[in-house]
Amino acid sequence: MPAGMLIDTTKCILCLRCENECHSFYGLPNKRLEGTDDAPELDAYHYVVLQAHEVATPTGRRTIGVSKRCLHCFSPACASVCPVAALHKTKEGPVVWDEGRCIGCRYCQNACPFDIPKFEWDVAWPKIQKCIFCHEKRLLQGKIPVCAEVCPTQAIRFGERADMIALAHQRISESPEKYFNHVYGEEEVGGTLKLYIGAVDMRQLGFPSEVEPEMYPEYTHEFLSKIPVEIASLALFLGGAYLFRSRREAALAKQNHDTEKRG
């Protein structure tokens, strides 16, 4: 079963530990601590951002904290439009990015319904950046993501996705006066690994208002058909150049190895 994460916004106390620990673990600049941005948005240097929203709830107006990050779709639109498979879904579930394959076309940015992949605009060799679910550094080591580990109120829970869905519905059924009756991510875009519940509709907390329940790669052909032919051709050319370079480097490495053996 794929991994899953349940984020319960009713339990968030806006302590920022999820955001700060993510920055520290991945060595990212922290705009809040540096005093340059009190309310950052998701960008190339923020895999996780804790946002505060003042909204009307059944018990009155209140400030709700919501930890934003990549939702890791079951069938990710970002990966479906990547011409060189730089973004791909792992067998464990998380959607990750391969720096060695990326050609910088940024199709993934346009395709994502949640506006998640971000591009480094201020460096010579830019990357696509986003939450990778601590896949290589934590999940493959049998550890839970750092944000879930440090959350003091268990607003962030980690486990098998099916168990997280069951927990979400249990909380809603046990406290219907406390929760909006919907598990965000259970069906959106065909399902995501990150799930959200709370006192209000997640669309009041900055989530997109028009998200289809169907898997978005079904719309990939329509998306690609709207991209200018010249750009698509360039992507294919760069992808071919990458494959040619990779095969050439492999051939040279084999040739050098054979030469050393003969020597």
Share of the chain above pLDDT 90, in %: 59
Candidates 30, 34, 62; CA nearest to 49 is 30
pLDDT at 218: 55
pLDDT at 253: 58
pLDDT at 49: 94
Strand partners, 56: 61
Strand partners, 8: 197
- What length does the chain have? 263
Candidates 112, 118, 45; CA nearest to 81 is 112
CA distance linking residue 42 with residue 71, whole number of Å: 13
Tokens 């971000």, residue located: 118
Q: Are strands 156-160 and 3-8 parallel, antiparallel or unpaired?
A: antiparallel
DSSP SS3 for 242: helix
Strand partners, 63: 54
From residue 179, alpha-carbon distances to 10, 58, 69, 126, 261 in Å are 8, 9, 21, 41, 68
pLDDT at 64: 95
DSSP SS3 for 41: coil
Is the pLDDT at 240 greater than 60, yes or no? Answer: no
Is the pLDDT at 83 greater than 70, yes or no? Answer: yes
pLDDT at 236: 54
Name the strand (E) or helix (H) holding 119. Answer: strand 118-119
Asked which of 38-42, 86-90, 202-206, 254-258 is least confident by mean pLDDT, the reply is 254-258
194 burial type by CB count under 10 A (0-12 exposed, 13-18 middle, 19+ buried) = buried
CA distance linking residue 199 with residue 17, whole number of Å: 22
Residue 6 region, left (φ>0) first, then alpha (ψ -120 to 50), else beta?
beta
pTM of the model: 0.81
Is the pLDDT at 237 greater than 80, yes or no? Answer: no
Pick the more confident residue, 151 or 214: 151
CA distance linking residue 195 with residue 197, whole number of Å: 7
**What is the tens place of the pLDDT at every residue in 40-61?**
789 888 999 999 999 988 778 8
Type of residue at 102? C
pLDDT at 230: 47
Pick the more confident residue, 41 or 241: 41
